[in-house]
Amino acid sequence: MDQSNQTMADYLHQNQALLEQMVHSADARRLMELLNQNAGGALKSAASSAALGDPTALLGMVRQVMQTQEGAKLVERLNQTAPKQP
C-alpha cells in the first residue's frame, strides 16, 4: 500500500462512524447491486485483490458502472458524503 493510501486508510479508521454510515447508505447498497450485476460473480475476487493491494479489477468494474447515468450519479453522491481528509 503506498503512502497516500495508507494515510487515507488511517483517516477513515479515525472516522469509522461516518464511513459506516456511508457504506450502509441506500446509494452504497445500490452501487453494490450494480457492481454485482455487471461483475458476473467476479466482484468478490476483485474486492479481495483490492484489499491485498491490487485494485485494478475492482476499479475497472467501478469505471464500467460509472459509464451508466445511474452509476455515475451514485458515485458522485457517495463522493460528496465520503469523509474528506483535512
- Residue extents of the structural domains in the chain: 3-81
Assign 63 to helix, strand or coil: helix
Residue pLDDT, tens place only, 22-79: 888 999 999 999 999 988 889 999 999 999 999 999 999 999 999 999 999 999 998 8
DSSP state of 3: H
Cβ-contact 53, 6 below 8 angstroms: no
Q: Please report the pLDDT score of residue 83 as a whole number.
A: 67
Taking residues 2-11, what's their average pLDDT?
Answer: 64
User: b or e along 43-63 (b: 16 or more beta carbons within 10 Å of the residue's beta carbon)?
Assistant: beebbeeeeeeeeebbeebbe
* Helices 69-81, 26-39: crossing angle, 10 deg rounding: 140
Q: Please report the pLDDT score of residue 14 as a whole number.
A: 72
| Residue 2 reports pLDDT greater than 90 | no
